Amino acid sequence: MIRFLKIFFILFINIPIYAQSEYIYILGNTQDAGMPHIGCKHKFCLDNFTKYEEFYVTSIAVINSDLNKYILFEATPDITYQLNHIKNNIFQEFLLPEAIYITHGHIGHYTGLMYFGREALGSKNLLVKVLPKMSNFLKTNGPWNQLVNLNNIQIQNTDFDESYLELNNIHITPIKVPHRDEYSETAGYIITGKNKKALFIPDIDKWEKWDKKLIDLAKDFDYLLLDATFYDSKEINRDISEIPHPLVSETLNLLDSLSDEEKRKVYFIHMNHTNPMLDPDSDLSKSVTNKGFNIARLGQKLYL
Ligand SMILES: [Zn+2]
Ligand SMILES: [Zn+2]
Structure confidence at residue 13 (pLDDT)? 52
Structure confidence at residue 51 (pLDDT)? 75
- pLDDT class of 54 with cuts at 50, 70, 90: confident
How many other C-beta atoms lie within 10 A of the C-beta of residue 163? Answer: 11
Distance 274 CA to ligand 2 centre (A): 5
User: What pLDDT digit, counting tens, does each position of 202-231 carry?
Assistant: 999 999 999 999 999 999 999 999 999 999
Please spell the DSSP secondary structure of the chain, one letter per residue: -HHHHHHHIIIII---SS--SEEEEEEE-B-TT-SSPTT--SHHHHHHTS-TTS--BSEEEEEETTTTEEEEE---TTHHHHHHHHIIIIISS----S-EE---SSHHHHGGGGGGSTTTT--SSEEEEE-HHHHHHHHHSTTHHHHHHTTSEEEEE--TT--EEETTTEEEEEEE-----SSS--EEEEEE-SS-EEEEES--S-GGGSSS-HHHHHHH-SEEEEE-S-SSTTS-SS-GGGS----HHHHHHHTTTS-HHHHTTEEEE-B-TT-GGGSTTSHHHHHHHHTT-EE--TT-EEE-
Distance 296 CA to ligand 1 centre (A): 15
Q: What are the φ and ψ backbone dihedral angles of 110, each rounded to 5 degrees?
A: -140, -15
User: What pLDDT digit, counting tens, does each position of 232-275 carry?
Assistant: 988 887 777 778 889 999 999 999 999 999 999 999 999 999 99
Distance 78 CA to ligand 1 centre (A): 13
Structure confidence at residue 31 (pLDDT)? 98
Distance 238 CA to ligand 1 centre (A): 17
Distance 106 CA to ligand 1 centre (A): 6
Distance 263 CA to ligand 1 centre (A): 23
52 has a pLDDT exceeding 70: no
Ligand nearest to the CA of 245: 1
Distance 164 CA to ligand 1 centre (A): 23
Distance 108 CA to ligand 1 centre (A): 6
- pLDDT class of 1 with cuts at 50, 70, 90: low
Structure confidence at residue 4 (pLDDT)? 57
Ligand nearest to the CA of 271: 1
What fold characterizes domain 19-303? Answer: Metallo-beta-lactamase; Chain A (3.60.15)
14 has a pLDDT exceeding 70: no
Give the closest residue to 128 by CA, choosing from 145, 106, 108, 107: 145
Ligand nearest to the CA of 103: 1
User: What pLDDT digit, counting tens, does each position of 155-213 carry?
Assistant: 999 999 999 999 999 999 999 998 888 899 999 999 999 999 999 999 999 999 999 99
Distance 41 CA to ligand 2 centre (A): 6
Average pLDDT value for residue range 25-48 = 95
Distance 51 CA to ligand 2 centre (A): 14
Q: Which amino acid is it at 143?
A: P
Ligand nearest to the CA of 42: 2
For the chain, the farthest-separated pair of C-alpha atoms sits apart, in whole angstroms, at 62
How many other C-beta atoms lie within 10 A of the C-beta of residue 87? Answer: 13
Distance 154 CA to ligand 2 centre (A): 36
Q: Which amino acid is it at 111?
A: T
Q: What residues contact 292, with CB distance under 8 A and at least 6 apart?
A: 260, 263, 264
Average pLDDT score, the chain: 93
Distance 229 CA to ligand 1 centre (A): 8
Distance 137 CA to ligand 2 centre (A): 30
Give the closest residue to 212 by CA, choosing from 188, 233, 180: 188
- pLDDT class of 286 with cuts at 50, 70, 90: very high
Q: Which amino acid is it at 216?
A: D
* Residues above pLDDT 70, as percent of the chain: 93
Ligand nearest to the CA of 28: 1
